[in-house]
């Protein structure tokens, strides 16, 4: 295939881009750093002959849309993000190291390898005569659930992808695995108010907020079901002194859901438990801190997955097993909501994302680029 020849003979330029863009780091909330990542991608994309447009929302670094064949009819979408979870300097200087067949550094698989995959696929297709519009959507606050760009950012993903044939979310890849569904996430804080009293002299006049929080946490976590909604209370703080009945306690809950209707169910359950006073005399409230919609499994996603699986086999690119579903969230949720058949986890492959051991296999850039490109060309 002509496109494969192009990918093979041009991959070095994209490996260099991958290394350079990871060296710029860019924690989601350090918007100056993320914007310099966006500047770099924008310049590279323009130098490759693409059109690029930036969008600013609230406190977020810019979202970037890169179009190939801007006047063509709608073809396919690629999605990735420019932010990472790491603080500047977490990987030392320089942040990126290449050792043998692996590249190590902040965001090498999550998700800048995916940006390189998307751009090389777009370039190979255009160079070989593909005429439809190919669009890469790069968000800048994916790691913090779009909490800076909020609805405006999410609406942009949906508006920019509506009407396209399919979407490839170039998130963290695992060898032989492609995702058709991801969980939605609700994060909330429960504040419990009790009553302070001397724990020796006036024990029975106090209301222990930590005790009340414990009653609630046990009941909340017990709602979790394998394959269904899960509730995880992973942060807690409370009390004032060892000899004062604890007047306050707060804890945070991480809830994972499979479909949009689960969100309502989960919130109803939480309200019920938060509004019940188990120990007597306490008063509690909760606040939703962030929400991410689930990437719901549907027939369109599964059909796209099957096409990728058969293309992988046909060209001997990658042996892909049965489709997978993940408990983690991603922006793929929003292309599915926009009605576009979507798969996720089709970026470069590797391991240990969100840790300082994060690495990617360098040759997966070529493999995953071929996989997407051949899928787009397959009837």
Q: Examine residue 366 and tell whether it contacts Zn ion (CB under 5 A).
A: no
Q: Closer CB to Zn ion, residue 76 or residue 112?
A: 112
Phi, psi of 280 (to 5 degrees): 95, 120
Q: Closer CB to Zn ion, residue 139 or residue 208?
A: 139
- Nearest approach in angstroms of CB 330 to Zn ion is 6
Residues 82 and 115 sit within 8 Å (Cβ to Cβ): yes
Cα separation, 326 vs 332, in Å, equals 12
The count of residues interacting with Zn ion (CB under 5 A) is 3
Phi, psi of 84 (to 5 degrees): -130, 175
* Among candidate residues 133, 120, 121, 136, the one with its CA nearest the CA of residue 169: 136
- Nearest approach in angstroms of CB 110 to Zn ion is 4
Q: Closer CB to Zn ion, residue 172 or residue 308?
A: 172
- Nearest approach in angstroms of CB 345 to Zn ion is 10
Number of H helices, E strands in the chain: 9, 16
- Nearest approach in angstroms of CB 249 to Zn ion is 33
- Nearest approach in angstroms of CB 10 to Zn ion is 25
Q: Closer CB to Zn ion, residue 250 or residue 369?
A: 369
Instruction: Tell which positions 157-186 bind Zn ion, by CB under 5 A.
Output: 171
Residues 295 and 342 sit within 8 Å (Cβ to Cβ): yes
Q: Closer CB to Zn ion, residue 110 or residue 145?
A: 110
Q: What is the DSSP letter of 259?
A: S
Instruction: Tell which positions 82-121 bind Zn ion, by CB under 5 A.
Output: 110-111
* Among candidate residues 349, 283, 359, 352, the one with its CA nearest the CA of residue 317: 349
- Nearest approach in angstroms of CB 264 to Zn ion is 27
- Nearest approach in angstroms of CB 365 to Zn ion is 16
Cα separation, 293 vs 291, in Å, equals 7
Q: Closer CB to Zn ion, residue 48 or residue 110?
A: 110
3-state SS class at 52: strand
Mind giving me the DSSP string for 111-180?
Answer: IIHHHHHHHHHHHHHHHTT--SEEEEEEES-GGGTTTTTHHHHHHHHHHHHTT-SEEEE---BBTTB-EE
Q: Closer CB to Zn ion, residue 19 or residue 171?
A: 171
Binding site for Zn ion (CB under 5 A): 110-111, 171
């Amino acid at each position: 295939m002509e496109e494969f020849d192009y990918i093979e003979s041009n991959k070095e330029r994209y490996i260099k881009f991958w290394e350079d863009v990871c060296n710029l780091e860019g924690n989601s909330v350090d918007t100056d750093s993320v914007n310099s990542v966006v500047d770099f991608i924008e310049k590279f994309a323009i130098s490759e002959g693409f059109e690029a447009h930036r969008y600013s929302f609230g406190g977020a670094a810019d979202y970037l849309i890169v179009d190939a064949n801007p006047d063509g009819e709608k073809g396919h979408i690629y999605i990735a993000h420019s932010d990472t979870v790491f603080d500047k300097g977490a990987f030392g200087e320089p942040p990126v190291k290449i050792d043998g067949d692996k590249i190590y550094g902040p965001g090498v698989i999550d998700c800048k390898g995916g940006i390189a995959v998307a751009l090389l696929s777009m370039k190979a297709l255009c160079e070989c005569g593909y005429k439809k519009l190919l669009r890469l959507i790069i968000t800048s606050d994916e790691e913090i659930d779009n909490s800076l760009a909020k609805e405006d950012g999410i609406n942009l993903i949906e508006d920019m992808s509506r009407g396209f044939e399919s979407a490839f979310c170039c998130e963290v890849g695992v060898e032989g695995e492609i995702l058709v569904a991801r969980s939605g996430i609700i994060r909330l804080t429960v504040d419990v108010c009790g009553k302070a009293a001397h724990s020796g002299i006036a024990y029975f006049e106090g209301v222990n907020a930590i005790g009340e929080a414990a009653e609630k946490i046990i009941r909340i976590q017990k709602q979790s079901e394998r394959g269904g909604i899960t509730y995880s209370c992973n942060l807690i703080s409370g009390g004032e002194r060892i000899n004062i009945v604890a007047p306050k306690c707060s804890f945070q809950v991480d809830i994972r859901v499979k479909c949009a209707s689960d969100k309502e169910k989960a919130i109803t359950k939480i309200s019920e438990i938060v509004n019940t006073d188990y120990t007597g005399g306490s008063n509690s409230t909760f606040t939703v801190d962030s929400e991410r919609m689930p990437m719901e499994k549907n027939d369109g996603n599964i059909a796209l997955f099957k096409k990728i699986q058969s293309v992988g086999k046909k060209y001997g690119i990658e042996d892909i097993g049965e489709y997978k579903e993940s408990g983690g969230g991603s922006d793929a949720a929003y292309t599915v909501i926009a009605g576009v058949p979507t798969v996720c986890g089709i970026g470069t492959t590797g391991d240990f994302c969100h840790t300082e051991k994060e690495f990617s296999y360098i040759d997966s850039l070529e493999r995953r680029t071929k996989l997407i490109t051949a899928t787009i060309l397959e009837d």
